[in-house]
């Protein structure tokens, strides 16, 4: 194979072209990659970000999901395409300002003709008024406690949300998210400027930082997204130390920093995925969820005040198609001492990436709706005592949020978000843990920046980014907006947690 046909070289060229806004050129490179290697999940995802039509995006995302059915970002993007397609069909206009759905409501025959003439007259002499919608939904909780989850979802079609305003500019201005009472954001940091690194050029190594990161890293030969579980120590120049033979993703550290929980892929069982625990020294690998009344358990997060984890899964009596690409994952809590399993949500939404607050009184989680006016993924806060849900973001399908994590003092949250037309261009957000707060884009780059976590002292953010061609781990100094680079290899390096 000649150098020009090397898929890795083509990927680098394609990513560079995409970052420079040369979509047609990037499309050509990524197309060559999938022609040479049709099982390259990463290439299909990048191709989806540069093609011109939803039909082309659907083909690319379908191929990515065929390779890796657990690709959450492809699942989310595909769900958005389904919603948009349904809405377009419903709102297809037969004339300017009049949808086919509106016309059909008037009936058929001669009456329809008369009404159509009246409608034409109205359209020519007036304009349509904008409609504002507000919906409050009450979701009955079906767990053993019988508690009710009250979820408030407010959307205003006439106003952009604060997240949209923040992601549109590098220096955001305060924008009210909705009709909630406006409070000043509690954010003690400077507004950063975007820092870009040219492809193939490593940023400075972080100096003077302590603790260790845990994550998953390696070459994804099987194209499943599940890689060796690793620990990074700042004293060994960011070398990834593999922990025994553990393979998985979605890592988290216990409060004492001695145990790692992660999602394990069980390819030979009906559980599909489950949660395992291993010591920071690589000893004591233990399955945690295979005996529970759940299936497809994943995305664990430790409570730091008691020996408990929160995660998402399906109930064991789930009646849906287990070969599907999307599932209505619900939130569960499991006490590792008492062995008590609690179901915290019970509705038709899909939940992902739950994260306990430092005092374990709240859970930040991504809640995804796949239909109706509230379709989209947003950050929600679950009150552990009452199970009441509060929307922290409400941009619905405009932006897709992912991977929320709390600051050590519990006052802030960080998460990633990408716009609906660029599913491989996530940016990093920090905001106060209050729906009235203003989101700040602290990392804004043409690349894909994901999985942000706070350092134990709250001064830094670690995240993964493919700005160098492969996903490496970077460190943001929040005070100076300086970005450092912890890893620089052809392995895919993803960060899950930062412990002391």
Q: Tokens 């003092």 label which residue?
A: 409
Cα separation, 118 vs 291, in Å, equals 66
Alpha carbon of residue 296 to chain centroid: 18
- Tell me the three state secondary structure of residue 284: coil
Which one of 3.40.50.1000, 1.10.357.10, 1.20.1250.20, 1.25.40.10 gives the CATH number of domain 3-67? 1.25.40.10
Confidence (pLDDT) at 90: 53
As a whole number, the mean pLDDT across the chain is 79
- What are the residue ranges in the chain where pLDDT is below 70? 1-5, 19, 86-201, 222-223, 238, 268-271
Cα separation, 54 vs 258, in Å, equals 46
Using an 8 Å Cβ cutoff, are 168 and 421 in contact?
Answer: no
Confidence (pLDDT) at 490: 87
Q: Which of 268, 350, 360, 262 is nearest to 313 (CA)?
A: 350
Q: Tokens 């979802």 label which residue?
A: 153
Using an 8 Å Cβ cutoff, are 85 and 65 in contact?
Answer: no
Q: Which of 59, 136, 53 is nearest to 88 (CA)?
A: 53
Q: Which of 303, 275, 302 is nearest to 289 (CA)?
A: 275
Using an 8 Å Cβ cutoff, are 405 and 414 in contact?
Answer: yes
Give the DSSP H/E element, type plus range, for residue 302: strand 294-302
pLDDT for 259-316, tens place per residue? 999 999 887 555 589 999 999 999 988 999 999 999 999 999 999 999 999 999 999 9
Q: Provide the total of helices (H) and of strands (E) in the chain, helices listed first.
A: 8, 27
CATH topology of domain 150-499: Neuraminidase (2.120.10)
Using an 8 Å Cβ cutoff, are 271 and 246 in contact?
Answer: no
Cα separation, 68 vs 350, in Å, equals 19
Confidence (pLDDT) at 142: 37
Q: Hey, where are the domains in the chain?
A: 3-67, 150-499
């Amino acid at each position: 194979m000649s150098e020009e046909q090397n898929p890795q070289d083509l990927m680098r060229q394609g990513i560079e072209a995409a970052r420079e806004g040369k979509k047609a050129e990037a499309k050509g490179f990524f197309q060559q990659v999938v022609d040479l290697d049709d099982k390259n999940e990463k290439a299909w995802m990048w191709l989806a970000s540069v093609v011109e039509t939803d039909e082309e995006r659907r083909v690319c995302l379908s191929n990515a999901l065929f390779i890796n059915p657990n690709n959450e970002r492809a699942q989310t993007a595909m769900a958005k395409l389904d919603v948009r397609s349904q809405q377009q069909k419903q709102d297809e206009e037969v004339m300017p300002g009049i949808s086919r759905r509106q016309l059909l409501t008037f009936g058929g025959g001669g009456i329809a003709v008369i009404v159509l003439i009246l409608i034409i007259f109205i359209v020519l002499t007036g304009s349509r008024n904008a409609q504002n919608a507000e919906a409050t939904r009450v979701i009955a909780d079906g767990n053993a406690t019988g508690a009710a989850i009250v979820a408030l979802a407010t959307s205003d079609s006439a106003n952009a949300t604060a997240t949209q305003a923040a992601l549109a500019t590098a220096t955001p201005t305060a924008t009210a998210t909705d009709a909630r009472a406006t409070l000043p954001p509690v954010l003690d940091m400077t507004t950063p400027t975007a820092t870009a690194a040219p492809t193939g050029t490593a940023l400075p190594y972080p100096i003077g930082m302590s603790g260790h990161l845990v994550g998953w890293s390696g070459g994804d030969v099987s194209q499943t997204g599940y890689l060796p579980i690793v620990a990074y120590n700042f004293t060994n120049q960011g070398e990834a130390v593999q922990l025994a033979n553990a393979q998985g993703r979605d890592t988290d550290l216990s409060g004492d920093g001695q145990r790692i929980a992660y999602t394990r892929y069980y390819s030979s069982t009906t559980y599909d995925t489950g949660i395992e625990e291993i010591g920071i020294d690589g000893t004591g690998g233990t399955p945690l969820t295979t005996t529970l009344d759940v299936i497809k358990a994943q995305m664990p997060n430790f409570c730091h005040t008691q020996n408990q984890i929160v995660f998402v899964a399906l109930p064991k009596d789930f009646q849906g198609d287990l070969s599907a690409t999307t599932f209505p994952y619900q939130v569960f809590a499991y006490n590792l001492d008492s062995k008590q399993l609690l179901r915290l949500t019970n509705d038709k939404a899909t939940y992902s990436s739950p994260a306990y607050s430092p005092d374990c009184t709240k859970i930040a989680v991504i809640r995804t709706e796949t239909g109706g006016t509230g379709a989209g993924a947003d950050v929600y806060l679950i009150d552990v005592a009452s199970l009441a849900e509060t929307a922290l973001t409400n941009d619905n399908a405009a932006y897709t949020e992912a991977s929320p994590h709390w600051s050590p003092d519990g006052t802030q949250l960080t998460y990633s978000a990408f716009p609906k037309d660029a599913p491989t261009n996530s940016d990093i957000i920090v905001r106060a843990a209050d729906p009235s707060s203003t989101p700040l884009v602290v990392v804004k780059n043409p690349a894909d920046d994901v999985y942000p976590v706070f350092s134990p002292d709250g001064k830094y953010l670690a995240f993964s980014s493919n700005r160098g061609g492969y996903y490496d781990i970077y460190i943001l100094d929040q005070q100076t907006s300086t970005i450092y680079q912890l890893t620089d290899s052809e392995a895919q390096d993803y960060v899950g947690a930062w412990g002391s």
